[in-house]
Amino acid sequence: MWDAGLDVGHATRSIDECISLGSEDTEVMTSLLDARFVCGMSAIYSDCMEKFRNSVIAKKSDKLVQHLIEMNRQRHEQFGDSSYLLEPNLKEGQGGLRDYHTMLWIARIRSDLKQPRDLEFFGYLSHSEYSDLNYALSFIWYVRNWLHHLVGRRYNQLHFEQQEKIAKILHLGKADGQQPVERFFRQAPWIYEYIETTTSYFFI
């Protein structure tokens, strides 16, 4: 992965270190909430996850949720509402990917959520809401991947120059007197607004 130029976050820690840091550091805590077994000794992974949930999540669930909600509020103040911005931040802006991530973290603290599909299983979202959310996320991921490719590095601010290029990549040709980028402007705000609306009740 490194040879391919991917920026892979990594760390080597004992189980006790994971638990200790996970109870104090938000970044480590959310990384553990997102953790998935890839390879190696599954028993060690299971032991770590069980201890993390019993020692950190079970004891501090309300405090952790309120901390995530406050971090979300501060981020919205800093980056603004993506559905109204001409050059939105696809990750950090309101209605962006970080809202979705925070929703998952809160759901995983409140329930034993294993995968995003469990949002429907646990009753957080209806079947149609989950399907629409997947559509909205797929759009943002697709646009963001192309943005990274066009800029040549990890980048989340969708400037006008890239919007014009991505509109053409999306095959948004001229229609009803509108240029491709104008059609992109009409589609993108709905996506951000849907993610914002769907995730917002988790942050109350």
DSSP 79-126: H-BTTT-SS-BTTTSBTSHHHHHHHHHHHHHHS---STTHHHHTTSS-
The CA distance from 139 to 24, in Å, is 34
54 assigned to some structural domain: yes
The residues near 202 (Cβ < 8 Å, ≥ 6 apart) are 102, 103, 106, 107, 124
2 assigned to some structural domain: no
4 assigned to some structural domain: no
The CA distance from 126 to 78, in Å, is 31
Tokens representing residue 153 in the block? 């590095």
3 assigned to some structural domain: no
pTM listed for this prediction: 0.87
5 assigned to some structural domain: no
Question: How far does Cα 2 stand from its chain's mean position?
Answer: 23
Number of structural domains (the chain) is 1
6 assigned to some structural domain: no
Q: Provide the CATH number for the domain around residue 137.
A: 1.20.120.330
What is the tens place of the pLDDT at every residue in 93-115? 989 999 999 999 999 999 988 89
Domain of 118 in residue numbering reads as 15-203
Least Cα distance to 203 among 14, 26, 55, 76 occurs for 76
pLDDT surpasses 90 at 50: yes
Given this model, what pLDDT does residue 166 score?
A: 84
Average pLDDT (142-150) is 91
Average pLDDT (70-74) is 93
63 assigned to some structural domain: yes
The packing angle between helices 42-52 and 26-33, to 10°, is 130
Given this model, what pLDDT does residue 85 score?
A: 75
7 assigned to some structural domain: no
Better-predicted residue by pLDDT, 5 or 169: 169
pLDDT surpasses 80 at 189: no
